[in-house]
């Protein structure tokens, strides 16, 4: 069984993220979800809330054995991959725009450390969902319950109640 890393800010972890996680695990990989802090994004959930919601989601969907959650330390993703023994990074592609954004990073990861990137096309049912859009719709009072696992929805509601 090979180890792969699914990195992201996951603010919040969406049904699209869950689908990618399931599919990567179904390919026979041990998946490490690497939750990062992205200073260029205006986040809503802190790292403990995000990791907690993801861990709860994995438990509820019987993925806890095949998937683990770690906080991604600052630094290069390839260094983290080496540390955990991962041979590849998993990324979801919703559109051509995602590929244009992801391709140079994939090539750099390969150049720096020989780390491959596995691109999985996002299921069409989730291709319109992004964490940033979910946060925006939620902040404006829209219903995002059909875009999130229940643990993520609970974390988002709790964070909104505090702010």
Q: Is the pLDDT of residue 77 over 70?
A: yes
Angle at 63 between CA 106 and CA 22, to 5 degrees: 45
pLDDT at 41: 67
- Interval 87-104: pLDDT, tens: 999 999 999 999 999 999
Provide the CB-side half-sphere exposure for 81 (13 A, CA): 22
How would you label 92-112 residue by residue, b for 16+ Cβ within 10 Å and e otherwise?
Answer: bbbeeebeeebeeebeebeee
- Interval 132-155: pLDDT, tens: 999 999 999 999 999 999 999 999
Is residue 130 flagged as an active site residue?
no
- Annotated catalytic residue within 94, 110, 127, 130: 94
Pairing of β 3-8 and β 88-93:
parallel
- Annotated catalytic residue within 9, 36, 131, 152: 131
Mean pLDDT to the nearest integer, 23-46:
88
Closest CA to 150 of 8, 12, 1: 12
The H or E element spanning position 126 is none
Give every CB contact of residue 84 below 8 A, 6+ residues apart in sequence: 3, 5, 32, 70
Is residue 157 flagged as an active site residue?
no
Is residue 163 flagged as an active site residue?
no
pLDDT at 163: 67
- Domains detected in the chain: 3-162 (3.40.50.620)
Is residue 150 flagged as an active site residue?
no
pTM confidence score? 0.94
- Annotated catalytic residue within 17, 29, 50, 135: 17
């Amino acid at each position: 069984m090979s180890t792969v890393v699914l990195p992201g800010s996951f603010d919040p972890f969406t049904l699209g993220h869950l689908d990618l996680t399931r599919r990567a695990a179904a390919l026979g990989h041990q998946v490490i979800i690497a939750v990062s802090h992205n200073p260029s994004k205006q986040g809503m959930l802190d790292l403990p809330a995000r990791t907690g919601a993801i861990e709860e989601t994995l438990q509820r969907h019987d993925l806890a054995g095949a998937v683990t959650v770690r906080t991604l330390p600052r630094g290069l993703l390839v260094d983290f991959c080496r540390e955990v023994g991962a041979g590849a990074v998993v990324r979801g592609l919703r559109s051509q725009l995602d590929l244009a954004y992801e391709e140079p990073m994939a090539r750099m990861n390969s150049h720096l450390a020989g780390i491959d990137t596995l691109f999985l096309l996002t299921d069409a049912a989730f291709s319109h969902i992004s964490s940033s859009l979910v946060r925006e719709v939620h902040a404006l009072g829209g219903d995002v319950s059909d875009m999130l696992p229940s643990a993520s929805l609970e974390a988002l509601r709790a964070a909104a109640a505090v702010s």
